[in-house]
Structure formats: C-alpha cells, structure tokens
Amino acid sequence: MMVTMTRKHQADYILGNNPADMSYLVGYEAKYPLHVHHRGTSIASIFSLHSEVGCTQGFELWYNRAESNPNVICGAFVGGPDKNDGFSDDRSNYEQTEPTLSASAPLVDIFAKLQSLYCNIGEGYNHNESPMPQQKTQSKYH
C-alpha cells in the first residue's frame, strides 16, 4: 500500500499539487508550461503563417521569443522542477521544459496502477460495463 500511496503523491505532484501549483503535463489544468522546448510547438503552423519556416528562421524568429508557444503540445510531460521545486518556464531551459519519452515512461506505470485501483469505483473506463466493439468485416490480414 505504501508504494501505491507514493504513486498517488507522484501523480498529484505532476498534475499540479506542488509548490508551483503547476501541472507538468502540458495542457492539463489551468496552469502548465507555456514555453515548451519543442520545435513543433514553438513555431507557428504553416497554415497560420502561409509560408514555410526553415531551420535557421525557426531558431532566429521563434526560439528566442518571449511569447508563449503558438501551439500547445497537449499531453507532453516536461522535465519538471529542479531539486528545490524551482521551475523556469523558459524555452531555452531544456532540462526543465523539454518533453522526452524517457521522462514520460514512468507516467505509464503511475497512471496505469492508479487507473486499475480506481476504475471500479465510478472513475475511468470500466471494461466490464461496456462491450468491446465488434469487427464488422474480416480483414484479409487476420
């Protein structure tokens, strides 16, 4: 049970119950990192710019901007705070604002365990209540 409580505290911390009152999961809750160190989120879309942005232009025109990223990379888990719970929401501070797969991997364990514990008390998806969708046509590959 101690491990489960630790997971719960970790999830709560990641999702905003921390000294910064900030979710480190981008797009979750009202306060989350706005200057994520990620090219796709820090450069405006070609659909809004109506012209291509090359690598050099992206760095010069977008990377050093003080404004928030023009795109929100929902679900990205950034590096998070330092050992003193400090967090600098600065695009150039890649240690804290860059989303990575290696940082996100532990979230799978934490959230999967919590989902398995709480799914039968009205929270989350309960696979016992909803039948699985039936395949309508047979695939030639199966």
- Catalytic site residue from 9, 12, 37, 52: 37
Catalytic residue at 98?
A: yes
Q: Collapsing DSSP states into helix, strand and coil, what is residue 99?
A: strand
Q: Angle 127-130-133 (CA atoms, 0-180°, nearest 5)?
A: 100
> Which of left, alpha, beta for 114 (phi over 0: left; psi -120 to 50: alpha)?
alpha
Catalytic residue at 142?
A: no
- Catalytic site residue from 12, 89, 95, 127: 89
C-alpha distance from residue 136 to each of 87, 88, 131, 140 (Å): 50, 51, 14, 13
- Catalytic site residue from 21, 50, 52, 98: 98
What's the CA gap between 16 and 33, in Å, rounded?
11
* Eight-class DSSP state of 119: G
Catalytic residue at 37?
A: yes
The letter for the amino acid at 7 is R
Which residues are identified as catalytic? 37, 89, 98
